[in-house]
Structure 1
Amino acid sequence: MTTAHWLFGDQLGPHFLSPGEDGPDRDAPVVIIEARSVFRRRRFHRAKAHLVLSAMRHRAAELGDRARYIRADTYREGLREALGDIGGGGRDSAGKATVTVHHPTSHAALRLVRSLDGVSVLPARGFLVPHADFRAFADGLGGKRLRQEDFYRWVRRGHDLLMDGDTPAGGRWNHDHDNREPPPKDTRVLDAPTPYRPREDAIDEEVRHDLDRWERDGEVRFVGRDGPRRFPASRREALAALRRFVEHRLTGFGAYEDAMLAADPVMSHSLLSSSLNLGLLHPAECVEAAEDAWRAGRAPVNSVEGFVRQIAGWREYVWQLYWYFGEDYRHSNTLGHDAPLPDWFLELDADAVTARCLATTLAQVRDTGWTHHIPRLMLLGSHALQRGWDPEAVTDWFHRCFVDGYDWVMLPNVVGMSQYADGGRMTTKPYTSGGAYVHRMSDLCGGCAYRPTERVGDRACPFTTGYWAFLHRHRGLLSGNNRMSQAVRGLDRLGDLDELLRQARAAGDAPP
């Protein structure tokens, strides 16, 4: 009886098919299932649906006759059809499973594959650290809080990554101090080489035709726009994007990685997150390519370390915490926020928003399904936190609306970091600010109807008003946080606090 290997749509790189003790059989038939029910359960961004389907169909085309590509209503139906075609369908006479699959990337998908007879779950691939190694690291902290910086250093040492013997390359573990520069004054766009952009092909045309038909038939509903595909959908394209970034854009990445420019949403960012999260790239090849560039003198250490930290530090940390904290983590709501997301936000209606920073960012999400990490955290996430929106609903929105959004990605990033709904299990403070931060780190306040320094009145910046209202609302909790206590004490110096709170209440869920 033939043993097949099942690839989920985020397991598309060659490392998910390489054989070994924890891998599939060398010549195993490959099953890829396009389940329509996935797109009915959530209202995904149209560009995200396009990218995922294009990537899956490109992978099937690459595998040729080895692949059985099934279009079905559900995964269960698709797997039954595939196994019937290739002669599987249960366990062989020795009790061996007839389907293998690498550990999926969500709790729901893991429950599914474990519920199916004849499916054997192999260890996870596509990450640097095995689950058991992380659990041993976390459990061995001896009461010390689990923090990303400690984990990051542990990964660097364990993988001999950007190290000179026992010391970090460049003399420091973290070059954040050099990577927080505001954008250059009077600069609309950074002087950076353009990023890699793929060319659409016949597969993309087929995907767009199918998505149009599904919407016409009322089977699914999407949000956002689906212009020409902006992100890689094949291994070849992903490698080209990695080379383009490392050879031409990495040098300028570090200093301005936290800055924002209205006319330059990509700046020097890598745009590799969707390729990593589809499994088209392995994190090891990304960080090793960056380190090689530094050792060859082609990129400064602050840029290389910042990129390495995003992947080997933060991305890996988020993946591990998703499984370590367990399924109940998604229901965390320490702050008791329960306001629903307003329609203008759900519909990505940037035209309804007056605040230039938020309107610009929402338009970027609407048009591309992407914006970089600072607009996500300090504009979209910060606004949701200040307004008291339900963190589960905010997590779902980020999952649906970003091309690189998956359950494992967004759950810790939103519940833990962005919305502080776990009360500090993941980060030491809420990440929110007034308009002064936005003004310092961007050009988004220029030409805005609001003023970042004003708290009340017609020109009051909604982020400035919202920041102080948030501190007031959670004063009891935050006054005991040593990173927030000074800011909380600042409430006592506001002579217009009552007026500010009335203005914040009056704003309700209206677009700012």
Structure 2
Amino acid sequence: MTIGIWILGNQLHSEQAALLSRKNNKQETPVIFIESLNYVRKRPYHQQKLVLVFSAMRHFAEELSSEGWSVTYKISENFEQALNSWIRANQITELRLVTPYDRPFLTFIQSLNLDSNIKLIPNNHFLWSHQEFKQWTDSRKRLLLEDFYREGRKRFNILMEGDQPIGGQWNFDKQNRKPPKKSLTPPTPLGFEPDQITQQVINDLKSSQIPTYGQIEPFKWGINRSQALQVLECFIENNLDNFGAYQDAMVTGEYTMWHSLISPYINLGLLTPLEVIESIEKAYHEFDYPLNSVEGLIRQILGWREYMYGIYQLMDDDYSQKNWFNHQEKLPEFYWDSSQTDMNCLKQSLRQVEETGYGHHIQRLMVLGNFALIVGVSPQAVNDWFHSAFIDAYDWVMVPNVIGMGQFADGGILASKPYAASANYINKMSDYCKSCVYKRTQRTGDKACPFNFFYWDFLSRHQQQLKGLGRMNLILANLKKMDSEELKAIQSQAQHWRESQ
């Protein structure tokens, strides 16, 4: 019997489960990497994401080869053709791979007609297995991210003093919402010049006929584990001190602020979640970084990331199709081309996504997601765009975040209220409104900010559904106080805007 291993593009770690299962038999174990052209034609992926994934795959293949593994790297029209050719050439009887994190890709693999048996190895890239997460949910009367996060802190003994959290409280989020000041000078993010392998990927993509999105150059992302570790170290040394306080702030021309930029590397497997968490905790004890910064970053990985994956695995297959508000509007064209909007907050956020494939969580949730929600865009269209546009996007992370959190399309499984807001929030957390042609204080008229009339239109359209959510009562009470003529003008302006798009 010959055992072969297929390594997927987001499983690029030498300690991943399939490789571990044959660690003592490297030379007798064929390993394959495949770039499938048909697969990347499924949606117009950001060019920098394709460069990152393909270059990281090619670098990891070389790394494994240098360690003694028998590695084949194929660029093929489709997975099935490349796999069967390799299986026959190596007389493989059992094909092992780590269970895909994305459910649609797992279904796809199970549909392949291969000349070998497939053995799926449970993934070890998350701290909670599917079975462990389900056991936790089965023991709960309610599902709350905060409860799960606290359980994770205890289970892995992170930022704990005995059975109590360091600092006397679990969550310092209230200290992590400082609006930007005029004098803010965020550090320059660490970037890397493309090496020969990466430049070849860039050249290949430039000459391909694959439909894509965004700019391909300048490409500054790390493409191997060594560079990913450098990014983590740079974040700890230069960013962690101010990360917490300003993690929600948005500033014109400042694309990354104090954010870590490590999500693409964790999602590819170049970094593991536990090593990142332990590095942050170690830095806290050694250098006395602010606890709100340290706890805030750890909560994103130990809490949010693990919870999203757990919910994704737990939900029914139709979760991605949920549409609680029955929103049917098309995604505005300017999401694909930032030059087509004159709303400064959207233009700034979309332009940086076009240039880098990146936007931080508040830009995603409270600018891009918020606007699509209050306009009434189909949540599936929003999800498709997010999956195409972001360098760290995968089905497992985008479905719960866009469908559940950003668009509230699941009716409250993930969030207790919709993340909907007017221009007031954006003005508080950014400097975008100061340079905008629209007036953040106006709800109607030619200069009224669309965030304002769409926000109140959204509340009006869905007030019957929203009144069942306790946290919406105060806002709905303000809606009832609004002058009926003004509300009609708001609704008319919102509808006219939709029709004009």
SS where residue 276 of structure 2 aligns?
A: helix
Query: Which residue is 2:128 aligned to?
Result: 129
Q: Is the 8 A contact 1:70 1:81 kept in 2?
A: no
Query: Which residue is 2:406 aligned to?
Result: 418
Q: Which amino acid in structure 2 is aligned with residue 124 of structure 1?
A: N
Aligned-pair distance for 1:326?
A: 2.8
Query: Which residue is 2:455 aligned to?
Result: 467
Distance 2:266 2:85 in 1: 29
RMSD of Structure 2 on Structure 1 (CA): 1.5
Aligned-pair distance for 1:490?
A: 0.9
Aligned-pair distance for 1:51?
A: 1.2
2:285 to 277, 280, 295: 295
Q: What is the TM-score normalised by the length of structure 2?
A: 0.95
Query: Which residue is 1:315 aligned to?
Result: 305
1:207 to 201, 209, 212: 201
| Corresponding position: 1:72 with 2:72 | no
Q: Give a deviation string over 1:187-239, Cα, whole Å, max 9, x none.
A: 3xx33332221221111111112112213xxxx21111111223221111111
Task: Kindly tell me the number of residue pairs found equivalent between the two proteins.
Answer: 491
Q: Which amino acid in structure 2 is aligned with residue 279 of structure 1?
A: G
Q: Give a deviation string over 1:454-500, Cα, whole Å, max 9, x none.
A: 10011111111111010001000111211111101111222211111
SS where residue 322 of structure 1 aligns?
A: helix
Q: Which amino acid in structure 1 is aligned with residue 148 of structure 2?
A: F
Aligned-pair distance for 1:113?
A: 3.2
SS where residue 105 of structure 1 aligns?
A: coil
SS where residue 296 of structure 1 aligns?
A: helix
Query: Which residue is 1:95 aligned to?
Result: none
| Corresponding position: 1:481 with 2:469 | yes
Aligned-pair distance for 1:18?
A: 7.4
Matches within 5 A, 1:77-476: 77-88=81-92, 90=93, 98-116=94-112, 117-141=116-140, 144-184=141-181, 186-187=182-183, 190-215=184-209, 220-345=210-335, 348-476=336-464
Distance 1:214 1:250 in 2: 40
Distance 1:149 1:246 in 2: 25
SS where residue 15 of structure 1 aligns?
A: coil
Query: Which residue is 1:55 aligned to?
Result: 56
Aligned-pair distance for 1:420?
A: 0.2
Question: Any unmatched runs of 5+ in structure 2?
Answer: none
SS where residue 306 of structure 2 aligns?
A: helix
Distance 1:119 1:8 in 2: 14
Distance 2:433 2:499 in 1: 22
SS where residue 101 of structure 1 aligns?
A: strand
Aligned-pair distance for 1:24?
A: 6.3
SS where residue 432 of structure 2 aligns?
A: coil
Change (3 A) 1:146 1:40: same
1:497 to 472, 487, 492: 487
Change (3 A) 1:177 1:112: same
Aligned-pair distance for 1:446?
A: 0.6
Q: Is the 8 A contact 1:399 1:410 kept in 2?
A: yes
Matches within 5 A, 1:27-66: 27=26, 28-64=29-65, 66=70
Distance 1:80 1:167 in 2: 54
Question: Any unmatched runs of 5+ in structure 1?
Answer: 91-97
Distance 1:4 1:427 in 2: 42
Q: What is the TM-score normalised by the length of structure 1?
A: 0.93
Q: Which amino acid in structure 1 is aligned with residue 443 of structure 2?
A: R
Distance 1:29 1:240 in 2: 31
SS where residue 111 of structure 1 aligns?
A: helix
Q: Which amino acid in structure 2 is aligned with residue 106 of structure 1?
A: D
Q: Give a deviation string over 1:371-414, Cα, whole Å, max 9, x none.
A: 10001000100110011111111111100110000000100000
Q: Give a deviation string over 1:306-346, Cα, whole Å, max 9, x none.
A: 0001111101111111110032100111110111213332x
Aligned-pair distance for 1:81?
A: 2.1
SS where residue 58 of structure 1 aligns?
A: helix
Distance 1:85 1:299 in 2: 55
